[in-house]
Amino acid sequence: MSRLAETLANIPLATLSIMIVCCIVYMYQFFVDPPVHHYTMCPRLVIYMSEYYRFITSSLFHGSIMHIGMNMMSTMAIGSSLEKRIGTLAMAITILWGIQLTSSIYTLISWLLYMTIGYEHLMLQHSVGFSGVIFQLAVLEANLSPDRTRSVFGFINVSSKIYPWALLVILQFIMPQISFLGHLSGILIGTMQSHGSLNVFFPSDEYLKGSEQKTSLAFIVRQPSFVSMPEAGTGLGRRREGSAGFFAAVAGSISLFLKNICETLKVMIFGRGTVANQNIQMGRLGAAWGGNDSVQEEEGWNGLPTIDEETERLTSGSPSDVL
């Protein structure tokens, strides 16, 4: 068995199926070359022209070979991990609803911004790609993962629950042309599903377990890559906290993320201890980190020279001191 065949054999059924669908759609794009803007997510065309098919096509179409390549690799990694935790049927329903719900909330936010503050850029913008659903799956996977922290591109470690939020911000800085609202929509849908606010759209664990025993699904269940639901259930939507719980979870995640950023900056500036950094004086900024409002002068301090001292050195020193 080749390495490619072995890799494909290890991908669970629902994850592999959506990857195949996206690849088939891209092959259609490659050979037929249809106008991609006819299939993108454009809130204005959805609302005022009733082009509701864009809710689905915008997630399945992609802009380039690199675009679909990156999205499918992310889908394989995140989707495989999540499907092994919740089962194939729950994963399939999550993806199908995710495609529609991420597009719906994308349209809703764009419309609200236009109606309230007159911001119409998002109403006219065309977005395409599966990454919104990927962010939804990333939120669910992070909430179910036993790992407490995740590494963001090997630079910093953050809490697993705010890992998707960290990716949202960092990816936007690295690739500013990507759809921030599309990714944010996926995070919001994933958070709502995780906290039980979308339970009305998803069948119960008992129903899914019973469905695995139905003869109509016997062919699917017998597939080697089919993953049965764990005995403990999916673990999704157990906390029926409603809208209040959802907004509290979002606010808490953002607050924790900002706190971790501040802690990272603190370590970058002051280091991990105080003994090795006693010669650094930051004036009244010490209070921001829990220190005193002022810094006492110390004899023999070997810190940075003042502006006046540096100016005098540059104007009176030897030519080799001036660059």
pLDDT number for residue 308: 53
Residue 295: what pLDDT? 37
Q: Report whether pLDDT(190) > 70.
A: yes
**% of residues, the chain, pLDDT over 70:** 73
Amino acid at 181: L
- pLDDT (average), residues 282-309: 42
Average pLDDT of the segment spanning 9-36: 95
Least confident of 44-48, 225-229, 291-295: 291-295
pLDDT for residue 253 is more than 90 = no
More confident residue, 319 or 156: 156
Residue 237: predicted pLDDT: 67
Q: Is the pLDDT of residue 9 over 80?
A: yes
pTM score over 0.75: no
For helices 88-117 and 131-144, what crossing angle results, to 10°? 120
Which residues touch 313 (CB under 8 Å, ≥6 apart)?
305, 321
Give the per-residue pLDDT at 263.
Answer: 61
Paired strand residues for 150: 158
> Measured between alpha carbons, how far is residue 27 from residues 63, 72, 174, 310 in Å?
12, 14, 28, 64
Higher pLDDT, 295 or 176: 176
Answer whether 49's CB lies under 8 Å from 92's CB. Answer: no
Of 119-133, 177-191, 226-240, the range with the lowest mean pLDDT is 226-240
